[in-house]
Amino acid sequence: MKCASAARAGLTAVAVLAMLTVSGCREEDAGLPSVSPSGRVSESASPTPPAERSGPRTLVDAPVAGGLDKLTGDGALTDVPVDPGEMRDGMTLVTGNYGDPDGQGAPVLFEGVDHVPEDTNERREHLFRGMLEYIRWDPELGHPEARPVEPGPLGGSVECLLASLSEDGNVICGWADEGTAAVALFEDSTLADAGELFVEMRGDLER
């Protein structure tokens, strides 16, 4: 008797197993569910979906980030405003002012590095301190508290801190993930608005 015939005959799992043993057919050949020692039939396990590819990402010198243009001419950066930390072979430094080409509103200053060899949270803290020095934050006022922000589809950790004594002012946001760390300065903004725009910009600056 063929294996498939035994299955169609409605035999119990134990009987089918015995018949398969005699006939030399294997369970996987017949496409039958496996039988536990208690005689109960267990369903075949669903195939495990392949894991999503992960690995260090890179930063790109995007001409547009979060709907803001990278400024050129008089609005372009002429130097690196914040010490990015130790730069090693294979690392990339990306900086830029992003905003309205017509000069409406203060530009967003961005600076980030990829292929960071150490803990990227530590590199982000380094960039946070550098940005606070850039805006001449008075250390006697204490260190502004960094608050978590929903990171969006790229994951990792995103935080923003308000370097102001009022509810709006200079907001510094930063991200850190498996291989990159970056910060941006949003002048005359709020934590909520800056955090939302920063996540949008990240989608264009990180690959």
Give the tens place of pLDDT for each residue, 29-88. Answer: 434 333 333 333 333 333 333 333 356 799 999 999 999 999 999 999 999 999 999 999
For 38-114, list the strands marked E by DSSP: 41-42, 64-65, 68-70, 93-99, 108-113
Task: Determine the Cα–Cα distance for residues 155 and 177; give it in Å rounded to an integer.
Answer: 7
Cα(72)–Cα(69) distance, integer angstroms: 9
Residue with tokens 């301190």: 129
* pTM over the 0.85 mark: no
Query: By the 8 A CB rule, do 181 and 117 touch?
Result: no
For 131, the 3-state DSSP assignment is helix
Lowest pLDDT segment from 12-21, 63-72, 104-113: 12-21
Nearby residues of 28 by Cβ (< 8 Å), 6 or more positions away? none
Q: How far is CA 61 from the centre of its chain?
A: 18
Answer whether residue 165 shows pLDDT above 70.
yes
Confidence of residue 19 (pLDDT cuts 50, 70, 90): very low
Check: CB of residue 70 under 8 Å from CB of residue 97.
yes
Q: What is the dihedral of CA 118, 157, 136, 194, to 10 degrees?
A: 150
